[in-house]
């Protein structure tokens, strides 16, 4: 059997209870996305709104290879501005306004719709009463994520940054070329920054800080 063959096979919707107030400073909206990480989607929304990414808060990150719907709060960003955002595979629906930002404690749960494909011919459907909460890629990520986290916990921050900038299991030629250049020219942050492609936004943000 197979799961997550296409984004439509894994649909996640947040269950959240928000206290709205028409006079609040925070605009709440539903962010529905496909093939976007939460961070990247919100970064692009902030860019189109011409405000800082720090104004946006959410209860947790959602899968990239899926269709996900989650609540986001935006500090002093009007609903009309958000509704004018145009991004492929991203939909924004205004919920209302409130007095507080959305945070990790705001979320009550998630609703999942999962499609399983290529079941054996003799497969018998059973009602699931318990669902195991596995701690694998879903929680720790893949590639360099666990390596970075381990070194941060140990206090080896430069090594954590080195894993972030020079190591990944993603087989993208442009990204691999940039990471190889970073490894060879470690410390020459401005030169390294110029070699990193736009889609490696997290890495570029770190390099911009190092350059400064």
Interval 144-186: pLDDT, tens: 788 898 899 999 999 999 999 999 877 789 999 999 999 999 9
At a CB cut-off of 8 Å and minimum separation 6, what does 139 contact? none
Please give the residue that has the higher pLDDT: either 134 or 212. 212
Q: Any idea what the CATH number is for the domain that residue 192 is in?
A: 1.10.1510
Query: Which of the 8 DSSP states describes residue 57?
Result: E
Q: How many domains does the chain have?
A: 2
Q: Write down the pTM of the prediction.
A: 0.71
Q: Considering the domain boundaries, does residue 123 fall inside one?
A: no
* Residue 197, domain member (yes or no): yes
Whose CA is closest to 15, among 55, 60, 45, 46?
60
* Catalytic-labelled residue, pool 9, 17, 25, 63: 63
Residue 205 confidence (pLDDT) above 70: yes
63 is catalytic: yes
100 and 19 in one domain?
A: yes
Average pLDDT over residues 125-146: 71
Same domain, 103 and 18: yes
- Give domain status of residue 189, yes or no: yes
Query: Distance between the two ends of the chain, CA-based, in angstroms?
Result: 50
Q: At 135, is the pLDDT very low, low, confident or very high (cuts 50, 70, 90)?
A: low
Asked if residue 59 is part of any domain, the answer here is yes
Residue 143 has pLDDT above 80, yes or no: no
Work out the number of other CB atoms within 10 angstroms of the CB of residue 179.
23
Domain that holds residue 99: 2-111
pLDDT at 158: 96
For residues 85-109, average pLDDT: 94
- Do the domain assignments include residue 89? yes
Using the 3D structure, point to which of 59, 90, 111 is the last residue of a domain: 111
């Amino acid at each position: 059997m197979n799961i997550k063959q296409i984004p439509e096979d894994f649909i996640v919707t947040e269950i959240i209870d928000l206290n709205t107030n028409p006079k609040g400073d925070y605009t709440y909206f539903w962010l529905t996305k496909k093939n976007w990480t939460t961070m990247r989607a919100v970064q692009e929304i902030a860019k189109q709104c011409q405000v800082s990414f720090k104004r946006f808060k959410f209860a947790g990150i959602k899968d990239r290879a899926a269709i996900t719907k989650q609540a986001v709060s935006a500090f002093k960003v009007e609903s009309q501005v958000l509704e004018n955002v145009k991004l492929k595979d991203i939909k924004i629906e205004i919920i209302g306004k409130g007095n507080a930002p959305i945070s990790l404690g705001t979320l009550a749960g998630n609703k999942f719709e999962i499609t399983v494909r290529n079941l054996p011919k003799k497969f018998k459907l059973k009602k699931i009463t318990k669902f195991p909460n596995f701690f694998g890629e879903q929680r720790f990520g893949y590639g360099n994520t666990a390596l970075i986290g381990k070194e941060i916990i140990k206090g080896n921050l430069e090594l954590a940054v080195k894993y972030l900038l020079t190591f990944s299991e993603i087989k993208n030629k442009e990204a691999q070329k940039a990471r190889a250049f970073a490894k060879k020219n470690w410390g020459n942050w401005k030169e390294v920054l110029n070699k990193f492609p736009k889609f490696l936004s997290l890495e570029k943000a770190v390099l911009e800080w190092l350059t400064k």
